[in-house]
Amino acid sequence: GQWSAAIDVIESVDDELGDPGSELEAEVAAIRGIATLNDPALIADFDRRRPTYVALARGDHWASHALAALLAVEAANRGRADEALAFGERALEDGRLLGERGAGAWTTPQLVGAFVQAEELDRASVVADEVEAAARASGSAFALLTALGARGWIHARRGDLVAAESELTTIFAFARDAGLLMGVTSLSFFLIDVLLERENLDEITELVEQTELGADFLNTTSGAMLLEARGRLRLLRRDNAGALDDLRAAGRIISALDFAPSFSTWRSSLALALPAASRDEALALAREELELARAGGLLRPEAIALRTLGVLEPAPAGIELLRQSVALLDATPSRLDHARSLVELGGVLRRANQRSDARAPLVAGLRLAYQCGAQRLTRRAQQELQAAGGRRPRLSTTGRDALTASELRVVRLAASGATNTEIAQELYVSLKTVETHLSRSYLKLGLAGSGSRARLVLVLDEASA
């Protein structure tokens, strides 16, 4: 996060770079680019040099692919999804990026992040698998952390919070123990939905809230990530004053970098945290976010802004906005946001004294929230449904959705062919713990007998279909 110091070093060697267009020039340019892209005090330098970065990215050496990965995440951060995908594919051409420098070195978070923010989750998942394979082959702990974090982020974006939590606990411990502050800030931001919706994660939540960054580091993208995550956690705890401070600070950094709602929907979070007396400011924030989201052309950020406006606007306008949000999310893989919009729609209808109309979206939202493993949203949906006079639907206590995060981790490893001893070593738990998790999982999955382990792959595939 000491970007200014990094630039000082880079400028001190400018005269030694050799021929224009060399690999050395491209690599130093890439490092300069990643520093300047993430610091409001330096972003003008990135924008001024961007045409040079584009030209250097056309080269045939590793650093050219690295620059393409950087340009991919820049485009994604700023809401240019098509451009992000094009640069992302350019970065992956010929397999050079992940095949060298320890599975791509610092470029891997940029690359996977570009695909996730562009809402190409299937492609992002494939790339994360490629990063993990390259990381294990090269022994790169950083790339392995990136792959696991990316997989958790993808699970969270899909609304599979149990699977996301299973990745989260492992990678947070890794980042904490290794002293990787940037890892902690990034994970807290990308996996914030897990912390907001899953219970019994107090240790990680406490780590996020107690993480401190130096003044220079705090005023960068990493600082904005930490501030936004902390602000949303404070909002959950009803510490509105602290939430407002954090979200405003995050917003100043993100706005100065010209990052789009595809990167952060901080305006919606801030709008919902504002007191009733600041309704005009809240509406202005939500409308600005909606305009920016529509300019980017991606459905999820547009739907989030519509949901925020729907909550803030009185009926019937608010109801129509929420219906639009639900309709948009129905066409995306973002099941958790879909559930949130359904529950908000039902709640607004109930408060507008349209109780019978409220029940259908509340039941749908409740079922979807439960399937996502969103424990707090599930509880809220149940309360809303009861207030609307509806009957609580039966929620399954069996099947994959009934597995805890720890059980799911053990089951997945068992399904991959790992022995109980290997699972215990992989997860740093006792053999008895593995056996207990498996026996409980078999019961929930309806498996019994000597062939249970062999049928795990089939059962998990069917549950994911």
pLDDT tens across 21-78, in order? Answer: 788 888 899 999 999 999 999 999 999 999 999 999 998 899 999 999 999 999 999 9
Of the ranges 301-310, 323-332, 430-439, which one carries the lowest mean pLDDT score?
A: 430-439
pTM, full prediction: 0.86
State the average pLDDT over residues 435-439: 82
* pLDDT value of residue 243: 95
Please give the structure tokens belonging to residue 149.
Answer: 């974090």
- Tens digits of per-residue pLDDT, 179-204? 777 888 888 898 899 999 998 888 88
Helices and strands in the chain: count of H runs, count of E runs: 28, 0
* pLDDT value of residue 18: 67
* pLDDT at residue 465 is higher than 60: no
* pLDDT value of residue 389: 93
Rg (the chain; Cα; Å): 23
Please give the structure tokens belonging to residue 408.
Answer: 């799911």
* pLDDT at residue 428 is higher than 70: no
Report the Cα–Cα distance between both ends of the chain, in Å, rounded: 42
* pLDDT value of residue 396: 64
User: Alpha helices, DSSP H only, in 352-430?
Assistant: 355-372, 375-387, 405-415, 420-427
Is the CB of residue 375 less than 8 Å from the CB of residue 197?
Answer: yes
- Tens digits of per-residue pLDDT, 296-320? 999 999 999 999 999 999 999 999 9
Mean pLDDT comparison of 1-5, 147-151, 350-354, highest-scoring range: 350-354
Enclosing H/E stretch for 39: none
State the average pLDDT over residues 389-399: 75
* pLDDT value of residue 286: 98
* pLDDT at residue 464 is higher than 60: no
- Tens digits of per-residue pLDDT, 228-260? 999 999 999 899 999 999 999 999 999 999 999
* pLDDT value of residue 344: 98
Residue with tokens 């880079």: 10
Beta-carbon count within 10 A of 405 CB: 20
151: amino acid identity, one letter: R
